Amino acid sequence: EAVVSTQSTGNADCGEKRMIVRAAENLSTQPVDEDMRKNYSCEPQKCYTLKCTDDDDDLFDEKLEETQFHPDLFHCLKEGASSDAIAAMSSTPYGFVDNISTWLFATKVLTFS
């Protein structure tokens, strides 16, 4: 396991075509501290690291400086990851990662049903 993730509390306010994922690198079996997690904005055409945290009252739309836009969450998470995490992520079949993303968006749609 290279990354642990969960949905953000900001998802209730970001609409049905966008999802906020909280994630952190984790190469061990130990839990990750909440302050180590970052928020990532995921939309159908782009993903990027957000400046805000779940403790902020901001609207979850400001991109973290010195980060880039990416076509998907997989590539977004690789930005800033350690070489060990990148190696673990690269050995994961892309089809698996794509299925996880599809399921995350599918459950997001259920919240608006």
DSSP 61-83: -PBPTT---BSSHHHHHHTT--H
User: Looking at residues 81-98, what average pLDDT do you find?
Assistant: 85
CA separation for the pair 100, 62 (Å, rounded): 25
Could you tell me the pTM of the whole model?
A: 0.78
Using an 8 Å Cβ cutoff, are 104 and 41 in contact? Answer: no
8 A C-beta contact, residue 47 and residue 74: no
Q: Residue 29 — pLDDT band, cuts 50, 70, 90?
A: confident
Asked whether the beta carbons of 42 and 63 are under 8 A apart, the reply is no
Tell me the sheet residues that pair with 61.
Answer: none
* pLDDT(113) > 50: no
The percent of residues in the chain predicted with pLDDT above 90, rounded, is: 14
